[in-house]
Amino acid sequence: MAAFRQIFAILRKDLLLELRSKEVLTTMLVFALVVVVLFNFVFDPGAEEVKVTAPGILWVAIVFAGNLGLSRTFAREQENGVIQGLLLCPIDRSYLFVAKVLGNIIFIFLLEVVILPVMIVLFDVHIGGAWPMLLLVLLLGIIGFASVGTVFSAISANTKSREVMLPILLFPVTIPVILSSIKSTAYLFAGRELSEVWSWLRVLVGFDVVFFVVCFILYEYVIEE
Amino acid sequence: MIRIEHITKSFGYFRALKDVHCEINEGEFVSLLGANGAGKTTLIRILATLAKPSEGDVWIGDVSLKKHPMKIRSRIGVVSHFTYLYNDLSALENLRFFARMYLIADARPRIEALLTDVGLAPRQHDLVRTFSRGMQQRLALARALLHRPNILLLDEPFTGLDINAAGLLKELLQRLVREEVTVLLTSHDIDFALDYSQRILLLKNGELTIDIPSASADKNDILRILGDK
Amino acid sequence: MNKKSIEPLYLLLLIVTFLLMGISLYLIFIVTPTERTMGEVQKIFYFHVPSAWTAFLAFFIVCIASIVFLKTGDAKWDKLAGSSAEIGILFTTLVLITGPLWAKPVWHVYWTWDARLTTSFILWLIYIAYLMLRSYTADSERGARFAAVFGIIGFIDVPIVYMSIRWWRTLHPSPVMAGNEGSGLAPEMVRTLMVSLVTFTFLFCILLMFRYKVAMLKSTVDYIKSKMDS
């Protein structure tokens, strides 16, 4: 119970800080839009292939922007060494991890909720009745990504090259979750049967669980001095 | 009270601390001296549960630091040259946040009293970002004392402080000692250590070379040991 | 002091590996019949598959050594993990080079983005990132912990490379390691492959032992240097 109160306190603090600076969300959103616009040059606009590639564009925008968000949220914990202040508190490192992951998931999910309608309008995607399922995919797609990202952002922030290191570490390792997210989304965009979507969703959930658990266990080793 | 039992911190050949062994009594004010890289900060970090010793253990009362770091954390307060404060939260919000983290029930009177003690009550609603270094360090002290720790660890707390802030800090430290709080402080300031603390510990290349009461310590001796290789 | 106990072991391993290499080459190029449809180029198979196996083994050792390091904090496990990763990358690189050489005459392209090729490439990137991480962190306990954590999380992707063949549609032949009937490999070829696998494993052991020894010597030298400086 005590741990829940502490996790909630950290989440509340992170949201309050974000509400005040709006730094993480704006950076992520603008960057995601830039990525989407860039892809417009890669694929012929209006062509049928854009619809096929739309899920890929959506997820590339999400993970690129998410990468930025992850390094920003960790940088926030580094000013005045405040991360050590958190470590001094009587909270288990694993619960600290849970709090940080939840915060990152909330931020990236908010980004998704904004960027999705933009994608739908720009690429003329028809979702029909698959809305709840799509939101589920968007959420599941970032759990594994945010778990690994929360651990790796702590690592990269302490290397010589700082933020540059994060995408190099993060993207190759999280490709399984990114791929299954893209596939699930593509099936939903294409109006496929839910049972077909499930075949990819199952893989996605599997990786989410594995990545979350492993990161939950390993977080203390990256966060301690 | 604090029993440091044969602590070694090593990685490969490099040894930051070598078999450090000593006891600190309840309510004692101890100064930890040593040159840069002598292992002072490493020892403080281990006592603060921020780092784990490679060998050995620390006992606080009858609680083992290795086995029950969580119990230790709610009994120690730490002040370092980092303030551990969020720039974009106000003084009050920072203290409220840490009060929640320390699971302090009904923290409001405690926070108000501390803000008054460190002279920040009038500016409690201002963001930490707008504070001077001295004010930030005073707030850091309030944060460290929030959960009424009976052990206070201070790592170079005077770094970057103006005379006023340093004076206030010294005053507060003396009051804490009267309240039977155990204080372990690292400093470069030998005069301060000799004047204020009851005991002097000196680390040299990771080894505890001096452990004597301040009264019988000789400044020139300490300087000589600090100075020569 | 342990100099004497190690040297004969090295020598023995060297001799055995040399002999095995000779036997493998003899089996591959003289004894084993040439594959009917693919011709001589199929001989690459006996280098390609063992390289892949050795790379998996190397990354497995990175993962295990990383776990032991996190548990014990003993720097030698960190050195072992780092050494093993370097050799793993070497063999993954061999896989990525021999693959296209074999693919060009058979599939008429050097590269195709099929599941196994893509995942092997990703694997290579992961361990390149691992080595970059090692070089960008100071040679400290904390840097070693970072590397260990990345080594463990990165290894989660290794089984995927192996499983990818079953999960995704792929051009790749089904795994011969499982010895399925469907792999359609002549018994002589399987035998030669097995010998080649053993040879590569020995080669790996030798490389790892030498690399590890160099890593340990380097840290000794660094230590002596730092003593002389101060």
State the amino acid at position B36 in one-letter form.
N
**Per-residue confidence (pLDDT) for residue C82, from 0 to 100:** 96
Phi, psi of B37 (to 5 degrees): 80, 10
Whole-number average pLDDT of chain A: 90
Answer yes or no: is pLDDT of A5 > 70: yes
Per the model's pLDDT, the better-predicted residue between C174 and C212 turns out to be C212
Which residues in chain C have their CB less than 8 angstroms from residue A220's CB? none
Per the model's pLDDT, the better-predicted residue between A89 and A191 turns out to be A89
Tell if the CB–CB gap between B11 and C75 is shorter than 8 Å: yes
Answer yes or no: is pLDDT of A134 > 60: yes
Answer yes or no: is pLDDT of C3 > 70: no
- CA–CA dist A194, A191 (Å, integer): 9
**Per-residue confidence (pLDDT) for residue C173, from 0 to 100:** 67
Query: From residue B46, how far is each of B71, B145, B188, B191 by CA, in Å?
Result: 14, 19, 20, 26
Answer yes or no: is pLDDT of C180 > 50: no
Which residues of chain A from 44 to 83 reach within 8 Å of chain B, CB to CB?
Answer: 76, 79-82
Domains of chain B: 1-75+151-165+182-228 (3.40.50.300), 81-148 (no CATH)
Confidence of residue A35 (pLDDT cuts 50, 70, 90): very high
Count Cβ neighbours within 10 Å for each residue of B42-79 and write b for 16 or more, e otherwise. Answer: bbbbbbbbbbbbbebbbbbeeebbeeebeebbbbbbbb
Which residues in chain B have their CB less than 8 angstroms from residue A84's CB? 50, 80, 82, 84
Q: What is the pLDDT of residues B37-51, one digit of tens each?
A: 888 999 999 999 999
Answer yes or no: is pLDDT of C172 > 90: no
Reported pTM: 0.91
Nearest CA in chain A to C69: A221
Q: How far is Cα of residue A157 from the mean position of the Cα atoms in its chain?
A: 18
Nearest CA in chain C to A200: C167
**Distant-in-sequence, close-in-space partners of B155: CB < 8 Å, separation ≥ 6:** B40, B41, B44, B78, B79, B80, B81, B186
Tell if the CB–CB gap between A88 and B84 is shorter than 8 Å: yes
Per-residue pLDDT averaged across C208-216, rounded?
A: 93
The H helix count followed by the E strand count for chain B is 8, 10
Span of A191-195, B2-6, B41-45 with lowest mean pLDDT: A191-195
- CA–CA dist A14, A107 (Å, integer): 10
Counted residue by residue, chain B has a size of: 229
**Per-residue confidence (pLDDT) for residue C4, from 0 to 100:** 52
Residue indicated by tokens 């032991």? C68
Instruction: Give the distance from residue C22's alpha carbon to the nearest chain A alpha carbon, in angstroms.
Output: 38
Give which of B73, B81, B159, B77 is closest to B114, Cα–Cα.
B77
**Per-residue confidence (pLDDT) for residue C175, from 0 to 100:** 55
Which residues of chain C from 152 to 181 reach within 8 Å of chain A, CB to CB?
Answer: 152-154, 156-157, 160, 167
Answer yes or no: is pLDDT of C174 > 80: no
- CA–CA dist A219, A223 (Å, integer): 6
Give which of A166, A179, A188, A185 is closest to A206, Cα–Cα.
A179
- Beta strands B207-213 and B55-60 are unpaired
Q: What is the pLDDT of residues B58-88, one digit of tens each?
A: 999 889 998 999 999 999 999 998 999 999 9
Q: What is the pLDDT of residues B137-165, one digit of tens each?
A: 889 999 999 999 999 999 988 877 778 77
Contact B199, B10 (CB under 8 A): no
The answer to whether B137 faces chain A, any CB pair under 8 Å, is: no
Residue of A5, A22, A77, A88 to mutate for B, most B C-beta atoms under 10 A: A88
Answer yes or no: is pLDDT of C169 > 60: no
Answer yes or no: is pLDDT of A214 > 70: yes
Tell if the CB–CB gap between A169 and C150 is shorter than 8 Å: yes
Answer yes or no: is pLDDT of C5 > 60: no
- Please tell me which chains touch A, using 3 or more CB pairs under 8 Å as the contact test: B, C
The answer to whether A19 faces chain B, any CB pair under 8 Å, is: no
B204 in helix, strand or coil? strand
Answer yes or no: is pLDDT of C170 > 80: no
Considering only CB atoms, A218 lies closest to which of C129, C132, C152, namely C152
Nearest CA in chain C to A176: C157
Nearest CA in chain B to A223: B50
Tell if the CB–CB gap between B50 and A10 is shorter than 8 Å: no
User: Tokens for A112?
Assistant: 């998704």
Angle subtended at Cα A74 by Cα B135 and Cα A222, rounded to the nearest 5 degrees: 110
The answer to whether A13 faces chain B, any CB pair under 8 Å, is: yes
Per-residue pLDDT averaged across B113-122, rounded?
A: 91
Confidence of residue C37 (pLDDT cuts 50, 70, 90): confident
Residue indicated by tokens 């548990």? C71
Q: What is the pLDDT of residues B200-222, one digit of tens each?
A: 999 988 888 888 888 887 888 88
Helix (H) or strand (E) holding B70, with range, is helix B69-73
Span of A41-45, B185-189, C86-90 with lowest mean pLDDT: A41-45
Span of B63-77, C156-170, C214-228 with lowest mean pLDDT: C156-170
**Per-residue confidence (pLDDT) for residue C165, from 0 to 100:** 53
**Per-residue confidence (pLDDT) for residue B171, from 0 to 100:** 85
Per-residue pLDDT averaged across A3-22, rounded?
A: 94
**Per-residue confidence (pLDDT) for residue C177, from 0 to 100:** 45
Per the model's pLDDT, the better-predicted residue between A124 and C67 turns out to be C67
- Highest mean pLDDT among C96-105, C126-135, C179-188 belongs to C126-135
**Per-residue confidence (pLDDT) for residue C178, from 0 to 100:** 43
**Per-residue confidence (pLDDT) for residue B229, from 0 to 100:** 46
The answer to whether B14 faces chain C, any CB pair under 8 Å, is: yes
C152 in helix, strand or coil? helix
Q: What is the pLDDT of residues A146-155, one digit of tens each?
A: 999 999 999 9
Instruction: Give the distance from residue B63's alpha carbon to the nearest chain C alpha carbon, in angstroms.
Output: 22
Tell if the CB–CB gap between A86 and B101 is shorter than 8 Å: yes
Phi, psi of B107 (to 5 degrees): -80, -15
- CA–CA dist A225, B10 (Å, integer): 13
**Per-residue confidence (pLDDT) for residue C182, from 0 to 100:** 46
User: Tokens for B24?
Assistant: 């600190």
Q: What is the pLDDT of residues A67-123, one digit of tens each?
A: 999 999 998 999 899 999 999 999 999 999 999 999 999 999 999 999 999 988 888
Q: How far is Cα of residue C68 from the mean position of the Cα atoms in its chain?
A: 20
**Per-residue confidence (pLDDT) for residue B35, from 0 to 100:** 85
Instruction: Give the distance from residue C143's alpha carbon to the nearest chain B alpha carbon, in angstroms.
Output: 11
The answer to whether C136 faces chain A, any CB pair under 8 Å, is: yes
Domain boundaries, chain A: 2-222
Per the model's pLDDT, the better-predicted residue between A192 and C221 turns out to be C221
Confidence of residue A212 (pLDDT cuts 50, 70, 90): very high
Radius of gyration (C-alpha) of chain A in whole angstroms: 18
B49 in helix, strand or coil? coil
Nearest CA in chain C to A154: C146
Per-residue pLDDT averaged across C133-156, rounded?
A: 91
Residue of C120, C145, C161, C162 to mutate for A, most A C-beta atoms under 10 A: C145
Contact A148, A215 (CB under 8 A): yes
Report the complex ipTM: 0.92
**Per-residue confidence (pLDDT) for residue C184, from 0 to 100:** 64
Strand partners, B153: B78, B184
**Per-residue confidence (pLDDT) for residue B126, from 0 to 100:** 95
Answer yes or no: is pLDDT of C1 > 50: no
Whole-number average pLDDT of chain B: 89
Instruction: Give the distance from residue B67's alpha carbon to the nearest chain C alpha carbon, in angstroms.
Output: 15
Phi, psi of A121 (to 5 degrees): -70, -50
Instruction: Give the distance from residue A105's alpha carbon to the nearest chain C alpha carbon, in angstroms.
Output: 19
The answer to whether C132 faces chain A, any CB pair under 8 Å, is: yes
B-C CB pairs within 8 A amount to 18
Kindly write down the DSSP assignment for every residue of A165-213, as one continuous string. HHHHHHHHHHHHHHHHHHHHHHHHHTT--HHHHHHHHHHHHHHHHHHHH
**Per-residue confidence (pLDDT) for residue A53, from 0 to 100:** 85
